[in-house]
Amino acid sequence: MYAITIPEPGGPEALVWAEVPDPVPGEGEVLVEVVSSAVNRADVLQRQGFYNPPPGASPYPGLECAGRVAALGPGVTGWSVGDEVCGLLAGGGYAEKVAVPSGQLLPVPEGVDLTVAAALPEVTATVWSNVFMVAHLRPGETLLVHGGSSGIGTMAIQLAKAVGARVAVTAGGPEKLARCEELGADILIDYREQDFVEELRQATDGVGADVILDIVGAKYLDRNVRALAVNGRLAIIGLQGGAKGELNLNALLTKRAAVTATSLRSRPLAEKAAIIAAVREHVWPLIADGVVRPIVDRTLPMADAAEAHRVLESSTHIGKVLLQTPAA
């Protein structure tokens, strides 16, 4: 088969479409013939040499895919050869085939094109696990989403609105904010021009956000704590603004607030399977009913993964950028 390899860390040009050995599904794994994958920030970090796959995972980038079941490993039940699926991966999505733990597979939702389904596993698992399973967002509460026009952001807006929450977003520029508003965002904040703490305070009559989903990290840590409501929950899922920041514990004590930080890729298989099961139970019906939908900016040939990485790093996209294999 062919896959995107990284012979040496570097810029987008470090991604090389090359012939590699076919994967063999192990105990409890399913071999998927990949139709498409999606590009995530973690893939960029892996390409740069900063985020290696967990032990035993595929060395190729790609944290999600969609395709058809090609073979079943020992002990697998519930799936058949030919099934159309999408899956959450620890790596290997930028390839023509990948072995996936069976507990991390999902059927393609009703009404979703197989290629487009690759836009779903990572964002739905990340948003559902952090916003709902960890931070317990409830109807009537306010969620602040940083990076509202990203793949994570566009999914977080839709899921929060689906459960009856109020949604505030930060994004860069009027075009991105307009797309967030189309998806249901109630409070629109241009982080380039506005102070999100002050804007949120005014929009919520001084209350703040009950839950904040943050991809920035250290750069926003102090302001995020100030933006939290009493009993607020800050969920950190990215470090685009740095890894080390100063935390005002007195502010947390005063607000009886909580800060959590999670990573999906390195979780044990059992935890990932539990998250995927929750996504299938709670999110898949919303997608099938058209209440929630994947947002795709563009689809490129997988051999052009370098260009897809340039698009992601330019931050000009809205939603997900997909890669399609020749077999598609």
Report, as ranges of residue numbers, the positions in the chain whose pLDDT lies below 70: none
78 C-beta neighbours (distance < 10 Å), count: 10
Looking at residue 144, its pLDDT comes to: 98
Length of the chain (residues): 328
Q: In whole angstroms, give the CA distance from residue 211 to residue 257.
A: 10
Looking at residue 23, its pLDDT comes to: 98
Closest CA to 325 of 97, 91, 53: 97
Looking at residue 242, its pLDDT comes to: 87
Looking at residue 274, its pLDDT comes to: 98
Q: In whole angstroms, give the CA distance from residue 158 to residue 191.
A: 21
Looking at residue 241, its pLDDT comes to: 87
Q: In whole angstroms, give the CA distance from residue 242 to residue 136.
A: 26
CB crowding 122-142: b at 16 or more within 10 Å, else e: bbbbbbbbbbbbbbebeeebb
Looking at residue 328, its pLDDT comes to: 76
Contact, 269 vs 101, CB < 8 A? yes
Looking at residue 219, its pLDDT comes to: 93
Q: In whole angstroms, give the CA distance from residue 323 to residue 207.
A: 42
Looking at residue 243, its pLDDT comes to: 87
- pLDDT digit string (tens) for 29-76? 999 999 999 999 999 999 999 999 999 999 999 999 999 999 999 999
First-last CA distance in the chain: 14
Q: In whole angstroms, give the CA distance from residue 89 to residue 324.
A: 16
